Structure 1
Amino acid sequence: MNESMIITLAVLIIASMLFISGKVRSDLVAVGALIALMLCDILTPAEALSGFSNSVVIMMVGLFVVGGGIFQTGLAKMVSSKMLQLAGTNETRLLVMIMIVTSAIGAFVSNTGTIAVMMPIVVSLAMSAGTNPGRLLMPLAFASSLGGMLTLIGTPPNLVIQETLQAAGYTAVSFFTFTPVGLVCIVVGVLSLLFLRRFLPKNERNADDDRQGRSLLDLVQQYQLRQNLYRVQVGADSSVCGKRLHELDISAKHGLNIIEVRRKISTKNQFFKTINQEIAGSHTVIEEEDILYIHGPFENVQAFALESGLEMMDRRIPENKKAAGSEQYATEDVGIAEVMLTPTSRLINRLIKESGFREKYHVNILGIQRKDHYLLHNLKEEKMRFGDAMLVQGTWRDIARLATEPDVVVVGQPNEEARKVTMDNKAPIAAGIMGLMVLLLISELIPAVAAVMIAAVLMVAFRCVRSMEDAYKTINWESVVLIGGMIPMSIAIEKTGAAALLSDGMVNLLGGQGPLILLAGVYFTTSMLTMFISNTACAILLAPIALAAALQLGVSPYPFLFAVSVGASMCFASPFSTPPNALVMSAGRYRFSHYIKVGLPLQIIMGIVMVAVLPLFFPF
């Protein structure tokens, strides 16, 4: 064992201990290990930095952007609601359904591509079901690897052993030769995780959520907006048609407040925006077919509608015919927020009608919370007091600008709340882009990394992600740096001869113990090595060794090569062993210990089962 090998193994052991302890950020540990190997001249600077140009890392960046588009357009919410209808909110049924669906997709799409499709859907599904996403995301990652064993193209190690068999003159495996093995893997994986899920994060409310202010839906309910917001439509013969709001003086005459005007701007393409929202101002001109959002008592609204020739609309059915919720008050353009006056505010003890909120800040005040009471009507004559919480509506941009004013404090984070509002009209575009990505991944017409990057660029170009800045914010850089920093570790392990030493020692030690013991040695050596080097590199390294060992014993090489393929693919005990494991780490808020507690037992169980069943499918 040479000096370079000893240093490499020492760095690997120290890094693993730090990963397990969780006391140091995982990305910092990965970069630290990288620097240590470079300073010890085990890796050249080019080799040390090669992980950040690796196609897997670039794919991860693109997949985060694609996932952001699927989220922001509401596509994830739509698909998850359908799945929720099928499985209900029962966690067991959700887990089983997610793993089966993911495994089926993983049979034809790379495990990274499968995660790109499913992760935003599963996060949305968990939120809708009131479940911690961490309860479902690790099973999702594992299922994408399990499904890869169903077909020849499901995972790269399958192709590696096919090439090894062909090169040695054996009959190549067919597309579905792997299917029986894959089905066993899925059954074992699902049943095992039903027991091992007890070690996954519990359904605890995140303390950070309490510091962000109340959600949009909470505000709607607290201020009773559903009971006080009504819609009327302007007809051609209406007396208000063509007039400005200040000419009508609706507030003084009827005790009402027109807070918003929605106007049709296009009906040609349902994929693009067809409704224009405008915060009502004194100079707003009312036009035919406008929909006016009026805040006030129902009786007053009804009287105003009769007097002006307006059509009352069913407030339970918005113009897009969907069920009412917070979406009536907050969309991609317009939102609501709670604000409070600062102790030195110049607005204290001033009447709302004199405050200039609408004229200066372009927002409407919908309600006031004063201690335990809510003031919702005739607000213009109310004086603002220190300690009042006021609900305002305006464009997200104006609300964010309001947060910079010294007289008021905006509760919560308007920009973050704006990102939570989905752009439902863009969902068909996001679905088309995702479908194109899946088609390119299946057909292999272009490299997988190119397919993902094309999808990411299209998400930004078609505004499925609101802006380039938002695209960058969807990327979890900790995961990217973690994988980019750990990929060169596999180069060091191979370069110093540590991997070859281990594999050769296995053959020398177990070769005389019989085919079953050697099969177990091949499987678990592959499984252990995959924790530190990529599954493809591991299969390439061990496939010829397994073939040679089988030939030395005079037995069929098929079970040994399948042991290499399965062992290289079924690695669950480390977050950086496969891209899916790393991709779900941040979203599931996992620590390294979660992978040890859940993934390691699953990896061992899978190994025991595979050693037992592979000779049944492929006799010695």
Structure 2
Amino acid sequence: MNGELIWVLCLLLGAIYLFVSNRVRMDVTALLVLILFVLSGTLTLPEALAGFSDPSVILIAALFVVGEGLVRTGIAYQVGDALVKVAGNSETRLLVLLMVAVAGLGAVMSSTGVVAIFIPVVLSVANRMGIPAGRLMMPLGFAGLISGMMTLVATPPNMVVNSELVRHGIPGFGFFNFSPMGLLILLLGIAYMLLVRGSLARDVQAGRNKGSRRSTLRDLIRDYRLTGRARRLAIRPGSPLIGHTLDALQLRARYGANVIGVERWRKFRRVMVSVSGISEFQARDVLLIDMADPEVDIRTFCREAMLEPMILRGEYFSDQAREVGLAEVSLIPESSLLGKSLRETAFRSQYGLSVVGIRRNGEALVGRLVDEPLQLGDRLLLAGNWSLIRQLHSHHRDFLLLGLPAEVDEMAPARSQAAYALLSLGIMVLLMVTDPVPNVVAALIACLLMGQFRCIDLESAYQSIHWPTLILIVGMLPFALALQKTGGVDLIVGGLMALVGEMGPRVMLASLFALTALTGLFISNTATAVLMAPIAIGAAQQMGVSPYPFAMTIAIAASAAFMTPVSSPVNTLVLGPGEYGFIDFVRIGVPFTLLVMAVSVLTIPWLFPF
């Protein structure tokens, strides 16, 4: 073992430690590793930065945009509503259809986004059927993970493994090469969940809902006691607010006035403008304000700020519902917001939305909420621009989007373009299947078509891309090259060959699956695939057999993150709504992972002969 290899292994252990401890963001850790590789001379600058030009990175970014197009056109929500209608009152039918729908959608868009969309649907139908949500939440999460096994583009690990094959001069997988294994494991997962669903929920009594309908804006206004709090106030000439930013004015701290939005004159008509801490007020602006503190004298506020009350029709900005929306979120155990007040978190600055209500233990809190420390289990009602509300799915590290009101279907900014979104998606899949162009080109064509058909605009496209995931891949890809250059891959492959090499390729597959699944407990499945793919291909070459079953095994094992609630963001999403404990995932996930491993070792060599 040479000095360079020791240095690379130390960097690897350090990166794993930072991933596990979560003291530094994963994408920042990946960039630190990349920099250290260059500074130490382990890799040249072009080698270290090669990930930025990797086709897999561009493909993943393009797929984020395609997925956002499906959300903006309302297709994803329509699938959820159709699921509820077809399932009726049958829990078995609902579970089967739920897992099939999630796996199908997750095959072409982010599994985390799909699960986040379906959580409020499942909560609603569970209440209507009078069953604990825990009986459906884990099947929802497992289907999200299985969706990564359905197609080549379903999850980043698949594309990472495919890219590694190409880098070794081996033709990559086809679009549907993953589908037989994915469908088999989906059927296995459905049967497994039907068998164990009775033990998924403990002593949780679910009451009957008042109906099967989704929550509406009126429901949220009632539940959070918002009636009578809305004000529509015009800024008069000479007002001390003119020319100052929202942060500088401190209106919420001084008067309990929470600015939700601003109506501003543009080209002879009023338009709704989103507000943030740096928003600067202008003369003739009309402020939409939530007055949460009943003790504040609105007349004193208007007099001091030189504001003129305007007519407000409807209940709590309902006449502005095309621009101003509401959404309910719940804090998760790992949230960085816990124990902090809204003022300390600078919530509006982070997310561009205002917290207008907090429910704790089923009761809405009243008064000034800005200094109220947030607790686990709190539900927050957010108000603001619909486009920002739709982006809440991407903030799953701090809270879970519990539901969007039924009005969101009417507010989908590109709802009328749904047919074009499906057409763009169909063209992408067709190009990927027939293979006249590289997959990344097919995805980029779909992005351009969605833009041309106005399914998505440029701003939403850029915002839909989960940049930390891309940076993580870019920063971790040099590890594979560094391990190869320093002899690390040969060392690991040699160790595996010494341990199980003489026992045959199937035992090697089982060993690689177990090693990948265990590594995935500590670092992301994408980083796991980056590290394990070259080892698997090296083992296949050492044994003189086809690399395809080994590469497929790594891809399946990387997605088999069923064992703990922190193995995948998908598991973390369903943890709270399902009222699970850590041990529930161990109890249900470990046997299923072993089952998937056994099926994979038996089936993959049949689909991809040695």
Distance 1:166 1:62 in 2: 24
Q: Partner amino acid for 1:9?
A: L
Question: Given the alignment of the two structures, is residue 357 of structure 1 paired with residue 357 of structure 2, yes or no?
Answer: no
Question: What displacement does 1:494 show?
Answer: 2.4
Q: How does the TM-score come out when normalised to structure 2?
A: 0.55
**Within 5 A, what are the aligned runs for 1:430-445?**
430-445=421-436
Distance 1:489 1:26 in 2: 15
Distance 2:512 2:583 in 1: 26
Distance 2:531 2:428 in 1: 26
**Identity among equivalent pairs (%):** 28
Question: What displacement does 1:487 show?
Answer: 2.3
2:439 to 428, 445, 448: 448
Question: Given the alignment of the two structures, is residue 128 of structure 1 paired with residue 127 of structure 2, yes or no?
Answer: no
Q: How does the TM-score come out when normalised to structure 1?
A: 0.54
Q: Partner amino acid for 2:122?
A: A
Question: Given the alignment of the two structures, is residue 505 of structure 1 paired with residue 495 of structure 2, yes or no?
Answer: yes
**Within 5 A, what are the aligned runs for 1:250-399?**
339-340=290-291, 343=296, 346=299, 355=308, 357-358=310-311, 364-367=312-315, 391=317, 393-394=319-320
Distance 2:219 2:508 in 1: 61
Native 8 Å contact 1:103 1:148 kept in 2:
no
Distance 1:37 1:596 in 2: 37
Match of 2:217 in 1: 216
Change (3 A) 1:65 1:410: same
Distance 1:196 1:13 in 2: 38
Question: What displacement does 1:215 show?
Answer: 7.1
Match of 1:14 in 2: 14
Comparing 75-84 and 158-167, the one that deviates more: 158-167
Question: Given the alignment of the two structures, is residue 546 of structure 1 paired with residue 546 of structure 2, yes or no?
Answer: no
- Secondary structure in structure 2 of the residue aligned to 1:339: strand
Distance 2:143 2:24 in 1: 26
- Secondary structure in structure 2 of the residue aligned to 1:493: helix
Question: Given the alignment of the two structures, is residue 473 of structure 1 paired with residue 460 of structure 2, yes or no?
Answer: no
Q: Partner amino acid for 2:495?
A: G
**Within 5 A, what are the aligned runs for 1:574-585?**
none
Native 8 Å contact 1:338 1:392 kept in 2:
no
Change (3 A) 1:59 1:90: farther
Change (3 A) 1:87 1:566: farther
Question: What displacement does 1:55 show?
Answer: 2.4
Native 8 Å contact 1:102 1:143 kept in 2:
no
Distance 2:140 2:607 in 1: 31
- Secondary structure in structure 1 of the residue aligned to 2:314: strand
- Secondary structure in structure 2 of the residue aligned to 1:413: strand
- Secondary structure in structure 1 of the residue aligned to 2:41: coil
Question: What displacement does 1:4 show?
Answer: 1.8
Comparing 524-533 and 600-609, the one that deviates more: 524-533
Q: Partner amino acid for 2:12?
A: L
Question: What displacement does 1:92 show?
Answer: 7.0
Match of 1:415 in 2: 385
Question: What displacement does 1:127 show?
Answer: 1.8
Distance 1:159 1:38 in 2: 23
Native 8 Å contact 1:490 1:532 kept in 2:
no
Distance 1:140 1:452 in 2: 24
Match of 2:56 in 1: 56
Question: Which residues of structure 2 form unaligned runs of 5+?
Answer: 125-132, 205-214, 227-267, 270-286, 327-347, 349-353, 357-381, 391-407, 577-581
Native 8 Å contact 2:324 2:383 kept in 1:
no
Question: What displacement does 1:82 show?
Answer: 1.3
Native 8 Å contact 2:70 2:418 kept in 1:
yes
Q: Partner amino acid for 1:80?
A: G
Match of 1:387 in 2: none
Native 8 Å contact 1:64 1:116 kept in 2:
yes
Bigger Rg, which one: 1
How well do the aligned residues superpose, as a CA RMSD in angstroms?
A: 5.6
Q: Tell me the number of residue pairs that the alignment of Structure 1 and Structure 2 aligns.
A: 435
**Within 5 A, what are the aligned runs for 1:545-564?**
545-546=539-540, 549=543, 562-564=549-551
Distance 1:561 1:428 in 2: 37
Change (3 A) 1:78 1:179: closer
Question: Which residues of structure 1 form unaligned runs of 5+?
Answer: 106-110, 168-172, 204-213, 226-282, 285-335, 359-363, 368-389, 404-408, 552-556, 576-580
Distance 1:165 1:96 in 2: 41
